[in-house]
Amino acid sequence: MADACMPERFYELAHPMLPAERESGPDGGRPRTRHRIVLKVIWFVLVTGCRWKDVPQEIGCCGETARTRMQAWERAGIWGQLHRLLLTMLNHEKQLHLETAIVDTTQVRAFGGGEQTGPSPVDRRKPGTKFTLLVDRLRVPLVIRAVPANRSDHCEILPAVVSFPQVRGRPGRPRTHPQKLYADADFDSEATRSLLRWLGIEPHIRYRNAKHGSHLGRIRWVVERTISWIKGLRRMRVRYDRSRTSIDAWTTIAAAVVCLQILSEAIA
């Protein structure tokens, strides 16, 4: 999905949102690691999937420094701002189709447990995390949520819809929710359908045990492709981090990276 070398465009977009660089005081001391180097390490870990302690020293800083900075920027909301900026740029380039949204989930192993962890029902109840992904009609990731692996899918569809981003970039008021929502049979629930209709969203959710031939897969397939792109970032295949702050940071950064790749292809 992405090269291990951070593209300059990623730094150019993220740098204005980061706090000001701190210089050495009047008494001297070791200079603080520059933001560019920290971003290079975060990008490297996301793409290669290596552990923080295995980050090569040649990159410029240790993994612990990058992890601490990544968590601080997550608490400051910087990764979310970066994701929204990229969505706005995609909308300006007419690469978003927000009237239609598709939702699906995928599970990953959570080595070491930690927050957002539960027994996986599809992996012999080993610790795992479930990612709920909401994309637009053109495959752009709008929302990624991390929850314990044993959480039912139909319980996650409404939180994903509530997190639907209000994206600017075109004239008019930003949308607060999609017109149509597509999902597979794992999300089958009449209560969910009723709530979606109450919100003004037309649900297209496949019924359990229904005969094949609904043709909903013609729309839903794009979310499977985006999930494959997310898992192409190797840090997203297996969950090593234990804190919710790190987990949420990785999901948002991964969404931003996929958006950047789509934007780069659109303007190439």
**Tens-place pLDDT, residues 229-242:** 999 999 999 888 89
Compute φ and ψ for 131, nearest 5 degrees.
Answer: -105, 125
Specify the pLDDT at position 226. 94
Q: What is the architecture, at CATH level 2, of domain 97-240?
A: 2-Layer Sandwich (3.30)
Across-strand partners of 202? Answer: 180
Distance CA 153, CA 104 (A): 8
Question: Highest mean pLDDT range out of 67-71, 107-111, 120-124?
Answer: 67-71
Tokens 């290669």 -> residue = 48
How many Å apart are CA 251 and CA 82, to the nearest integer? 12
User: So what's the pLDDT on residue 25?
Assistant: 61
Mean pLDDT of 123-136: 90
Q: Are 105 and 156 in contact (CB under 8 A)?
A: yes
Question: Average per-residue pLDDT in the chain?
Answer: 90
Which of 4-8, 49-53, 98-102: highest mean pLDDT? 98-102
Give 157's contacts (C-beta < 8 A, 6+ positions apart). Answer: 103, 132, 181, 183, 187, 189, 192, 196
| Rg, the chain, Cα only | 20
d(CA 172, CA 167): 11
Beta-sheet strands, E only, within the chain: 100-110, 118-119, 127-136, 141-148, 180-183, 202-205, 238-239
The mean per-residue pLDDT over the stretch 191-217 comes to: 85
Query: Are 49 and 34 contacting, i.e. CB atoms less than 8 angstroms apart?
Result: no
**pLDDT exceeds cutoff 80 at 55:** yes
What pLDDT, on the 0 to 100 scale, is given for residue 28?
61
Within 13 Å and on the Cβ side, how many CA atoms surround 13? 23
pTM: 0.92
